[in-house]
A and B are shown apart, each in its own frame.
Chain A
Amino acid sequence: MLGWELPPHNSGGLGVACYHMSKALALQGATIDFVLPYTATHPGVDFMRVHNATSLRPEERIHMGSYDSAGVFERDLLETDSGDLRTMRAVQRHYVDYVESLVSSDITPDVIHAHDWLTMEAGVRAKELTGAPLVVHVHATEFDRSGEHYGNPIVHEIEQQALMMADRIIAVSNITKAIIVERYGIPADAVEVVHNAIDIDSFGQYDYDQRDYRYIEVLKREGYTVVATVTRFTIQKGLTHLVRAAARACEKYDKFVFLLAGDGEQRDELIALAAELGIADKVYFTGFVRGKQWRDVYSVADVFVMSSVSEPFGLTALEAAHHESALIISKQSGVGEVLRHTFKFDYWDTEVLANQLVSIALSPSLATTLRRNVSQEYAKLSWHDVAVKCMDIYKNIRQGAEL
């Protein structure tokens, strides 16, 4: 298994998905060697062997997170100076070297399972060296990461080559599958959709004490509707559309609080936009949140909005469902394929989103129905089912290879 991050050193959903998927696969009897580009301890990871491809500490990967593809300039890894580990490509070069030596000496994989463009080159190289089948798991493409822009052409090319070399491709949603088919020209029958799931147990027991969002709780008691999102503030997440819809909704009904939890390059733009639209007062920026402050966002929220321009899956929507928020999800978000009891809108359609926000705020019964139904839906999704599907895929390609 070739990954880029695991909790608690993750910058987003990729690490969470890899963790739960691996754990569930181990329970299915898989023996997993998981390669990471940094060195750290991962409490609770005792179900697989974790390999550290470099001696970097997790925090040294700043600007080399799972979502940073803009700083990639060299196409050919062999030409990349790997002397220092200060660029994404240098770290990837080390990662490939490490995987090469791993499959040449230590281990002989039955299947190579590579997650996203970050590890795709290593996956292709491991396949060349061992002849083992390659499964490329697509959590996001460069098109998704770049929102309404084109993205980095080098990254597109890396993705293109690996998708063509793969024996099987797993997409986290039909939306992602469509991108792989349409934009990378891959035959549809080479791509299997396996939706992500949520591990409820990982939330553990915790009591929401209303402390961190004390002021917002008071506003709730005064009749305010709290609309929240938890995300990276990047163009992919469509937050400018959300803020515009917020302003539009406030024209119709003004007892709203908008809680934007997270941080990212778009933060200043969003702050200025809220001020420009005259709703700075209603928009709360928490900065980057972890732990209790992160969980409590879901607890304080009445409505959770996922406004992504392009979201292959969208784990946070499941987390919000678990905390009994009503959900509004952009039609461009894959998680909507498994959650039917939600409002949907085109990410750019601020008019529709504004109407949905107002209707939930004005109708307690609508809000309650949405909440109750979605919380039954999400509970049916399990990592166990994901692992079973992956095991089937492994079996099928190996049989296919033997024929």
Chain B
Amino acid sequence: MSCNIVLYLHVHQPYRIKPYSVFTIGHDHEYFNQVDDSDINNEKVFHRVADKSYRPMNQLLEKLLAEHPDFSLSLSITGDFIEQAERWAPDVLDSFKRLVQTGRVEIVGETYYHSLAFFYSQSEFEAQVSLHREKIQELFGVTPTAFRNTELAYNDALAKWADGAGYKAILAEGWDPVLEWRSPNYVYRPAEAQNVRLLMKNYRLSDDIAFRFSNQGWSQYPLTADKYVDWAEAAMDDAPLLNLFMDYETFGEHQWEDTGIFSFFETFVGAWLAKGNGFSAVTAAATGNEPAGEISVPGTITWADSERDLSAWLGNDMQHEAAKYLYALESDVLRSGDEQLINDWRYLQSSDLLYYLSTKWSGDGDVHTYFSPYESPYDAFLYYMNVIRDVRWRVMQHHKLGGIDSA
């Protein structure tokens, strides 16, 4: 039996909103144009991550694809990212195109705006998936056959939808309470689905790279390629797959170059293949293996925090309020026909903006603080609410109606 690593990397940059005060409502409709040295400055962040991660990693991936005919991987690339790359670093986008042109880099479908729309509005969710599909087709000339929902948020209803939409594969967290005695290293059949197959992340081995790689307090530090090959082989046992899912920005941004992440990855890919193992893109992995059983996930699981639920984005009252008011504007915004207004409303759906409102302060909170460019979740909430009010202002201009109670 062949042993294939299914490497899937998620590429994304949100549009972070600027500090937006009560006094700005009705005057300034630019929400994402902060110009300063902070990490709220989207252009600045994009240039930094392009230099530290996108450019060197794509260069390495191109090299590995050229050197190893059996190397392949999958990427999901959000619309938010693509737009920022088009504007600020077209060369980065070109390098992604070259990767896809090798035929060994699969693009996974998702929502264009990195949203949690699936949990608020089916029609908006489907609209965003279509927009993403069209954008991917236009840029890369391919149509996704696998699907991942934002934050790997997954449940039976989503699988049923993906099944109906004709996807061959769908991705989820390999969370123990869901798997119970089963291993994440097999293909599964989602409950209530006919054709679509489920691939579940091996979070232990994924997180060894994504989170623990440079942690000097970790008992296994430093992680070498040889050690990781041993672990991967041991973890797979006789199973067909090893699903390594993580943020693309793990390489160079979350783990900086000086941690040795790039050379680790390069050495590992070579060593893994040298031992007769393989790599597989997600759709090939899902269709090339018979399902080992059926998995039912009635409640939603995600890939974040120790709870693996939606609580990182929808865990406190501020997050629920913010999302409620935003989605309540759906029909008024859409029927305005104002393209810029519709886009802005959709940028505001990025799950990152809800993540910044999290008030978890434990171990997970450290991760939240690391990823948030704001002084506190309370500041982020005030800016977000004021921006929603400005969106309402613009809606009022269109429809000549008012009120703050569209909820």
Q: Which residues between 274 and 332 of chain A lie within 8 Å of chain B, taking CB atoms?
A: 275-276, 278, 280-282, 284-287, 293
Q: Chain B nearest CB: distance from A320 CB in Å?
A: 18
How large, as a class, is the contact surface on chain B? Answer: 20 to 34
Q: Chain A nearest CB: distance from B132 CB in Å?
A: 30
Q: Is the CB of B403 within 8 A of A215?
A: no
Q: Is the CB of B402 within 8 A of A281?
A: no
Q: Is the CB of A272 within 8 A of B359?
A: yes
Expressed in whole angstroms, the Cα–Cα distance for A272 and B317 within the complex equals 7
Q: Is the CB of A280 within 8 A of B318?
A: yes
Q: Which residues between 383 and 407 of chain B lie within 8 Å of chain A, taking CB atoms?
A: 385, 389-390, 392-393, 396, 402-405, 407
Write out the residue numbers on chain B whose beta carbons fall within 8 Å of the beta carbon of A221.
402
Q: Does A257 contact B (CB under 8 A)?
A: yes
Q: Does B289 contact A (CB under 8 A)?
A: no
Query: Using an 8 Å CB-CB cutoff, how does the interface string of A197-232 with B read, 1 for contact, 0 for none?
Result: 000000000000001111100110110100000000
Which one of A222, A271, A287 has the greatest number of beta carbons of chain B within 10 Å?
Answer: A271
Q: Does B120 contact A (CB under 8 A)?
A: no
Q: Chain A nearest CB: distance from B161 CB in Å?
A: 30
Expressed in whole angstroms, the Cα–Cα distance for A293 and B25 within the complex equals 14
Expressed in whole angstroms, the Cα–Cα distance for A174 and B393 within the complex equals 47
Q: Is the CB of B25 within 8 A of A214?
A: yes
Write out the residue numbers on chain B whose beta carbons fall within 8 Å of the beta carbon of A218.
26, 393, 396, 402
Q: Does A267 contact B (CB under 8 A)?
A: yes
Q: Is the CB of A293 within 8 A of B317?
A: no
Q: Is the CB of B378 within 8 A of A268?
A: yes
Q: Does B27 contact A (CB under 8 A)?
A: yes
Q: Is the CB of B23 within 8 A of A212?
A: yes
Q: Is the CB of B381 within 8 A of A280?
A: yes
Query: How many A residues face the partner with a CB closer than 8 A?
Result: 28
In the complex, which residue of chain A has the Cβ closest to the Cβ of B402? Answer: A222
Q: Chain B nearest CB: distance from A241 CB in Å?
A: 19
Q: Is the CB of A281 within 8 A of B321?
A: yes
Q: Which residues between 275 and 324 of chain B lie within 8 Å of chain A, taking CB atoms?
A: 316-318, 320-322
| Known contacts A219-B402, A280-B318: A267-B23 contact under CB 8 Å | no
Expressed in whole angstroms, the Cα–Cα distance for A278 and B23 within the complex equals 23
Q: Which of B21, B321, B403 contacts A275 (CB 8 A)?
A: B321
Q: Does B22 contact A (CB under 8 A)?
A: yes
Expressed in whole angstroms, the Cα–Cα distance for A374 and B321 within the complex equals 38
Q: Chain B nearest CB: distance from A230 CB in Å?
A: 13
Expressed in whole angstroms, the Cα–Cα distance for A268 and B380 within the complex equals 11
Expressed in whole angstroms, the Cα–Cα distance for A328 and B23 within the complex equals 25
Q: Does A254 contact B (CB under 8 A)?
A: yes
Could you write out 28 A-B pairs with CB less than 8 Å apart? A211-B27, A213-B23, A214-B393, A215-B22, A215-B25, A215-B389, A215-B393, A218-B393, A218-B402, A221-B402, A222-B402, A268-B376, A271-B378, A271-B382, A272-B317, A272-B318, A275-B318, A275-B321, A275-B381, A278-B317, A280-B381, A280-B385, A281-B321, A281-B325, A285-B382, A286-B23, A287-B21, A293-B23
